[in-house]
Every structure is written in structure tokens, then in C-alpha cells.
Structure 1
Amino acid sequence: MKIIKLILCTLFGLMFINAGLDKFLHYMPIPPIEPEMQKVNEAFGTIVWLMPLIGFIELIGGLLFIIPKTRALGAIVILPVMVGIIIHNAVYMPEGLAIAGVLLLINIWMIIDNREKYKKLICS
């Protein structure tokens, strides 16, 4: 079970590191998108600080998630982005919900797995 957790957490972290880096370096090709989605992307683009902030959170969260000692913090850091991904996919791209759902489940699993660490924050 430990090896499965290590592999899933490493892949999860690498996916978010990749997504975060792409927000700064723009190396992944953008597939053709529907006009409604194009409007959403343009709206996000008008908020000049939003994508760099999300990219930074994805990058840091992904790095923290890979390292077992910092995984609990990484799971919490990446959770708001993960919720945004789920909502975005539910509204605009339902075909992406399967992958997003699996990622959310991995994130929730790590939060539950580290619940003892969070108790110190809540019940101090």
C-alpha cells in the first residue's frame, strides 16, 4: 500500500508541477475550444495576477505533495485549486470530470491520511 501511495502522490504532484510551470512558460499546446470557453479564458486573462497565482500555488502544492514530510501541507495548499478544477469541469468541460474526480479523491485520501497533523492546528 505504501508503494501505491508513493506512486500516486508522485504522479499527482508532477501533474500539478507541470500545470503550474505551464502557466509561466506556456509550453503545452492549447486545443481548440468552444466559443463559450474562449470567453471564460479571456475573462480570466483580464485579471493579470490570477493565472500566475494559480500557477504558483500549483507548483508549490505539487512539490509539497511529492515529499512525504510535507504532503499534509501540500494537500491543504492544493485543495482550493482542486475544488476550482472540479467546478470548472462540471460547468464547462464535463468530459474532464473523470480525471479531476480521481485527483480530488487522491487529495482527499491524503487529507484523511494526515488528519492527526491537522488536529494540532485546530485543537491547540
Structure 2
Amino acid sequence: MKIVKQIVFTLFALVFLNAGLSKFFHYMPAPEMTPEQMELMGAVVKIKWLMPLTGTIEILGGLLVIFPKTRALGALVILPVMTGILVHGITLAPDTIVLAGTLMLINIWMILDNYKRYRPILA
């Protein structure tokens, strides 16, 4: 089970590393978007600092998740971005819900798997 967990968490981390790097180097093509999604993307692009911030959080979170020693922190760093991805999928991109839901479940699994590390913060 430990090997499966490491593989799943590493793949999760690589998804976010890839997404974050693509925000800086623009190597992944943009998906087809509805007019509503185009309007949202236009607003996001106007906020010049938002995409670099999101990309930085994705890269940082992805790097932290790769290593078991820092995974608990990485899971928390990625959680707000993952929440945004899931809400976006539910509201504007229903075709992405399966992927977003799967990634959210993996994120929750990491958080639950590291619950003991959070106890001092919650005490």
C-alpha cells in the first residue's frame, strides 16, 4: 500500500508541477472554452498577478507533495487551488468534474494520511 500511495501522490504532484510550469512557459494548449469561460479567463488575465501566483503555488505545492517529509504542508498549500479547480468544474466546466473530483479526493487522502502532523496546530 505504501508504494501505491507514493505513486499516486507523486502523480498528483506532477500534475500540479506541470500546470504551474505551464502558467509561466505556456506550453500546454488552451482547451476549447464556452463564451462564459472566455469571459472568466479574460477577467483572470486582467488581474496580472493572479496566474503567476497560482502557478507559483502549484509548483511549490507539487514540490512539497513529492517528498513524504513535506507532503503534509504540500497538501495544505495545494488545497485552496484544488478547491478553486473543483468549484470551477462544478459551475463552468462539467466535463472536468471527474478529473477535478479525483484530484480533490487524492488531496483529502493526503490530508487525512497526515492528520497526526496537524494535531499540534489544531490543539
TM-score (norm 2): 0.98
User: What is the distance in 2 between the residues matched to 1:28 and 1:78?
Assistant: 20
- Residue identity opposite 2:27 in structure 1: Y
Once superposed, which parts of structure 1, at least 4 consecutive aligned residues long, lie more than 4 Å away? none
Report deviation, 1:98.
Answer: 0.4
Task: Say yes or no: does 1:33 pair with 2:33.
Answer: yes
**Aligned partners of 2:107 and 2:58: how far apart in 1?**
13
- State the aligned residue count: 123
1:12 is matched by which residue type in structure 2?
Answer: F
Cα distance in structure 2, aligned partners of 1:75 and 1:31: 26
- The aligned residue for residue 106 of structure 2 is 106
Task: Give CA-to-partner distance per residue, 1:56-108, whole Å, 9 cap, x none.
Answer: 00000001011110000000000000000000000110110001111101110
Provide the alpha-carbon RMSD of the alignment.
0.7
Q: 1: distance between equivalents of 2:44 and 2:38?
A: 10
C-alpha distance in structure 2 between counterparts of 1:86 and 1:50, whole Å: 18
Identity of aligned residues (%): 56
Task: Report the 3-state secondary structure (helix = DSSP H, G, I; strand = E; otherwise coil) of the residue aligned with 2:29.
Answer: coil
Report SS of the residue matched to 1:69: coil
Unmatched tracts of structure 1, length 5 or more: none
Aligned to 1:58: 58
Give the structure 2 partner of residue 43 of structure 1. 43
Secondary structure, counterpart of 1:38 in structure 2? helix
CA distance in 2, matches of 1:46, 1:23: 15
Point out where structure 2 has 5 or more consecutive residues left out of the alignment.
none
TM-score by length of structure 1 reads: 0.97
Q: Secondary structure at the residue paired with 1:32?
A: coil
